[in-house]
Structure 1
């Protein structure tokens, strides 16, 4: 009898766990509209501006790459510019659409695009500036981390919020392993711009995790935009 009772209890616990998980998933999906209307307007505008700036940036990057011989420079320019456009477009659409089902899709795309943007930002530096200093393996590492990040966004529903922020930071500051080579191969002003952009992104993480305070997400958007602009200037003026 004890064995049967134990088995029944185990079965009930398993069912209860499944029910709790389903309820948690349902609750998480219901909470897709996590910002007020005013916040979403601000979120959409801040990164909507980013779309326009990113399109202009891609054009300027392509022109600069072509003026310096094209080839790998052109590839790096297109990758960087395209990931800028991808991130700001997905972010804007995520915050602009009010419908939960659509919003849910663009939330995944938005967060996934951040990993791709980080890798895309690295690409000009690893393929051009660090081409003779281990840039190839760093390109492979950073894009592998981006793929892992995208997979986490797509398949791990209950990941801790801080985990994504941690991966963003680790990817962003992986460049410190090549700081000595950068100091030798990149103009000092370019180095300053590179790290200034990284600091903008890093400081923005503070506001990213403060989601319970209204408009903190919009402020994070501004820090991201600032980091992108600084890195764009670095690539345009000192890498291509």
Structure 2
């Protein structure tokens, strides 16, 4: 038996558990980043705050979406969940561009990234249940725009931090295979694990090599 999302009760339990764990870790991560950024000035503190808040928002929206019993509440949480993906992508960029680099190119890319992310949010508000493949493409495209500053990151970021940044992006990207494969049992929970892995890589890169 499946619910309105198309997942069985056991699958939804796995979906809730996986991103519920992400929510808990995200809150801890936000606190750690704010504590570390407190003495680094307002720009660093704002960058870490935006990133950490976007991380918490994503996992909160996802956990709520997979927990709600009401179809109306699920639709609202699904909308928030999909919008939060754009915000997390832009939020993840922020410490790398404004703290690790803070160059004219990085600042320009920052404006572009946040502009595209906000445009993506508007797109989702208008077309939440349409153009799913296009949405997935825009998520991936937005994430891999980091290649524009990869050489600058190579010059300014420790090699391990750069490796974690790239690995996180790769994990997110590979996870979309399971996101689209609805015929695989627990495909969405598996996708959630990839999201957790990508998030962990990026958090360690930011906390350990940017902050």
TM-score range normalised by the length of the shorter chain = over 0.9
Distance 1:168 1:156 in 2: 15
Is the Cα contact below 8 Å between 1:79 and 1:123 reproduced in 2? yes
Match 1:81 to one of 40, 46, 52: 52
Partner of 1:122: 93
Is the Cα contact below 8 Å between 2:58 and 2:84 reproduced in 1? yes
For residue 70 of structure 1, report the CA deviation from its aligned partner: 2.6
Partner of 2:33: 61
Is the Cα contact below 8 Å between 1:32 and 1:104 reproduced in 2? no
TM (norm. structure 2) is: 0.95
Partner of 1:51: 23
For residue 192 of structure 1, report the CA deviation from its aligned partner: 0.5
For residue 157 of structure 1, report the CA deviation from its aligned partner: 4.4
Is the Cα contact below 8 Å between 1:200 and 1:226 reproduced in 2? yes
Q: What root-mean-square deviation, in Å, do the aligned CA atoms of Structure 1 and Structure 2 show?
A: 1.3
Distance 2:126 2:80 in 1: 12
Give secondary structure in 2 for the equivalent of 1:98. Answer: coil
Partner of 2:6: 34
Q: Deviations over 1:115-159 (max 9, x none)?
A: 100100000011112212411111111111111211121111452
Gaps (5+ residues) in structure 2?
none
TM (norm. structure 1) is: 0.84
Matched, 1:211 2:182: yes
Give secondary structure in 1 for the equivalent of 2:95. Answer: helix
Distance 1:36 1:153 in 2: 26
Distance 1:157 1:187 in 2: 39
Partner of 2:192: 221
Matched, 1:148 2:119: yes
